[in-house]
Amino acid sequence: MGIEFRRFTAVQERKLRKALEEVRTNPRTTQLPPDLLSMLMLRLAKVGEGEYVGITFRGNDARCSEGSPLTVAYGLGHHNIFLCAKAFAEKDRAEALTATHQPKRRLPAILFHELVHTCGGNEVDAETFENCVFGGEGATLPDMKDLKERFSEVDFKGRWVEMNRRTGKVTRRDTGSLLITFSARRRREK
């Protein structure tokens, strides 16, 4: 058991291994809810240990053009993550690359987001923890407009977190502590 890569090039596999190691060693992961953290670590365990996760390259899937850099299928017992070529891009948009903007590597944040889904997290869980752990390091911060467009009623309550639709405040369901506030205004990371 462990993580299996499918249909990636050797270069992409190296990038994936490095990104997964960054997920595993990011000091901010220790602040995750304990059950999420232990599930995550089971998925990131060395080959031969832990839970199976399949990560598959999906090429330049047409769905990438909808704004998401990847498509994903997940569910308990189905730990499959599908990545498209954009997940490996070192910046979000060409225009973001100026003299003052370093290229942004999105891969660790994307992998982390999808791993939260494989642990049973929904979209608000994945978006919240992606931004708590990889904020400023490749996470994309959604705004309330994005979320209201993408989320149905049930999506605002996750397995671990809950979002106030009026204020954008996201709190942990077990401790009630405030994790992040999603802004009402468009504030995309560039």
Residue 87 interacting with Zn ion (CB under 5 A): no
Smallest distance, Zn ion to C-beta of residue 8, A: 20
Residue 64 interacting with Zn ion (CB under 5 A): no
Smallest distance, Zn ion to C-beta of residue 127, A: 7
Residue 126 interacting with Zn ion (CB under 5 A): yes
Using the minimum distance from each CB to Zn ion, give the nearer residue, 83 or 126.
Answer: 126
Stretch of 2-10, 120-128, 136-144, 158-166 lying at the interface with Zn ion (CB under 5 A): 120-128
Q: How many amino acids of this chain bind Zn ion (CB under 5 A)?
A: 1
Residue 70 interacting with Zn ion (CB under 5 A): no
Give the DSSP per-residue string, the chain.
--EEEES--HHHHHHHHHHHHHHHH-GGGGGS-HHHHHHHHHHTSPTTSS--EEEEE--S-GGGGGT-S--B--BTTB-EEEE-GGGG-SSS-GGG-SSS-PPPP-HHHHHHHHHHHHTT--HHHHHHHHHHHHTTTT-----HHHHHHH--GGGGB-SSEEE-TTT-EEEETTT--EEEE--SS-----
Using the minimum distance from each CB to Zn ion, give the nearer residue, 73 or 178.
Answer: 73
Task: List interacting residues with Zn ion (CB under 5 A).
Answer: 126
